[in-house]
Structure 1
Amino acid sequence: MVYRRWEGMFKNGINLILTLYFFLSLSLQHLNLISMSVSSSAVDFRTGTKVAIKKLHRPFQSELFAKRAYRELRLLKHMKHENVIGLVYVFTADLSLDRFHDFYLVMPFMGTDLGKLMKLQNLSEDKVQFLVYQMLKGLKDLKPGNLAVNQECELKILDFGLARQADSEMTGYVVTRWYRAPEVILSWMHYTQTVDIWSVGCIMVEMLSGKPLFKGNDHLDQLTEIMKITGTPTQDFITKLQSQDAKNYVKSLPKVQKKDLQELFSKVNPQAVTVIECMLLLDPESRVMAAEALTLPYFSEFREPEEETEAQPYDHSVDNSDLSLEQWKRHTFTEILSFQPQVVESRETAL
Structure 2
Amino acid sequence: MTPREIVLLGSTGSIGTQAIDVVLRNPEALRVVGIGAGGGNPGLLAEQALRLGVDVVGVARSSAVQDVQLALYAEAKKRGYAQGDARVPRIVAGPGAMEELAAWPGDLVLNGITGSIGLAPTLAALRAGRILALANKESLIAGGPLVRAAAAPDQIVPVDSEHSALAQCLRAGRAEQVRRLIVTASGGPFRGKRRGELTEVTVEEALAHPTWNMGPVVTINSATMVNKALEVIEAHELFDVSYDDITVAVHPQSVIHSMVEFVDGSTIAQASPPDMRLPISHALAWPDRVADAASAVDWTRSHRWDFEPLDDEAFPAVNLARDAGRAGGCLPAVFNAANEEAVAAFSAGKLPFLGIVDTVAEVLAMAPGFGEPGTVDAVLAAEEWARGTARERIARDGR
TM-score bracket relative to the smaller structure: under 0.3
Larger radius of gyration: 1
TM-score of the two chains, using structure 2 as the length reference: 0.24
**TM-score when normalising by structure 1:** 0.27
Q: Which has the higher helix share?
A: 2
